[in-house]
Structure 1
Amino acid sequence: MAIGATIHTFEVQLADVDRGVYEDLSLRVAQHPSETDAYMVTRVLAYCLELEEGIAFSAGGVSTGEEPAILVKDLTGLITAWIEVGAPDAQRLHLGSKRADRAAVYTHRDPAKLLATWRGKTIHRSQDIVVRSFDSKFIDAAAQALTRRNTMSLSVTEGQIYLELNGTNLETQISTHEIE
């Protein structure tokens, strides 16, 4: 956990019909002082949408150093999924795709601008990297509903997200993009 981080708790009821994942989660999320609420909301959503055995937030909360925002490791400690949040640069994505069986990016930023920054750059197995974006108004509204202690219900069906966060009801479509 980073020094000076603010700890947020999330009691999550997850019903991801698309993947057949139904879980109740208790998450302690460290928000680094440089991390925006929008980034943290995107990071929590990415964690829930990627939930599988061995998933964990990185130590500092934001993508720093050698780790992405979220990692999935198998029982031997081998990285099986490299999950970036926000707007990672092409080199970082290239490294992550080489180190893990699969890589994904979840962003609350303009996906067209993000994809343009990667155009023409070398990214290992770029055709296999999943890039998902959320509508910025959805993320901003969720960020406004944040408190230090959060109750959250997240349902996903046919790519549509239904989120109830501390009494605020929101919905959006998850958009998927291809790296050119």
Structure 2
Amino acid sequence: MAIGATIHTFDIQLADVDRGVYEQLALRVARHPSETDRFMVTRLLAYCLEYEEGIAFSAGVSTTDEPAVLVRDLTGAVTAWIEVGAPDADRLHYGSKLAGRVAVYTHRDAEKLIASWSGKTIHGADEIAIRSFDAGFIDGVVATLERRNTMTVSLTEGQLYVDSNGASFSSALHEHRIG
């Protein structure tokens, strides 16, 4: 018998001062058995930091034609393709041709990730934002995870502050570009 997804709930106070976004979010996040806690936390932060009307988590790892997070307009068209982790160049190429905006949030070494795309064709590569966090930041947040979580996520002047179940963490939100 296959093991099902583990459901985590998050009550999040979001204050993205850099974009002027202030929201109270109540999210149910399914973590597939093959998904690491680090990936799930990065996916959750990508959702928060890209939050806008029409944002949603995709159906998960079983859906190969969608990113981890996407934004659709009222017609259903994909307007933002948001990958998490270490997507391959073909996925970025496809997403960039489909959506007006592409971003990658990674809990891995961003420079190695970018190097893995060297020599590959990626539509609009110079417009794709790659974002990473300080070493140990994601691991710190992961260590606080429970099935029910209360978080505060704040971004101001490129500095990310997360309070997760009473523990506080901070990291610069590093911006990288391909090539």
Tell me the TM-score normalized by structure 1: 0.96
Task: Report the Cα distance in structure 1 between the residues aligned to 2:37 and 2:92, rounded to whole angstroms.
Answer: 23
Q: For residues 46-68 of structure 1, what are the alpha-carbon distances to aligned partners after superposition, in whole Å with 9 as ceiling and x for unaligned? A: 000000000000112x4741010
Identical counterparts, % of pairs: 68
Corresponding residue SS for 1:112:
helix
Corresponding residue SS for 2:155:
strand
Structure 1 segments of 4+ aligned residues over 2 angstroms from their partners: none
Q: CA deviation at 1:119?
A: 1.1
Give the aligned length.
178
Task: Report the Cα distance in structure 1 between the residues aligned to 2:112 and 2:71, rounded to whole angstroms.
Answer: 27
Q: CA deviation at 1:114?
A: 0.1
Q: Structure 2 unaligned runs (5+)?
A: none
Task: Report the Cα distance in structure 1 between the residues aligned to 2:15 and 2:147, rounded to whole angstroms.
Answer: 23
5 Å matches for 1:4-153?
4-60=4-60, 62=61, 64-153=63-152
Q: CA deviation at 1:135?
A: 2.0
Instruction: Specify the code of the residue in structure 2 equivalent to 1:23.
Output: E
Q: For residues 86-109 of structure 1, what are the alpha-carbon distances to aligned partners after superposition, in whole Å with 9 as ceiling and x for unaligned? A: 000001110000010110000000
Instruction: Specify the code of the residue in structure 2 equivalent to 1:59.
Output: A
Q: For residues 118-168 of structure 1, what are the alpha-carbon distances to aligned partners after superposition, in whole Å with 9 as ceiling and x for unaligned? A: 111100000111110012300001001100000000111000011100011
Q: Structure 1 unaligned runs (5+)?
A: none
Instruction: Specify the code of the residue in structure 1 equivalent to 2:115.
Output: A
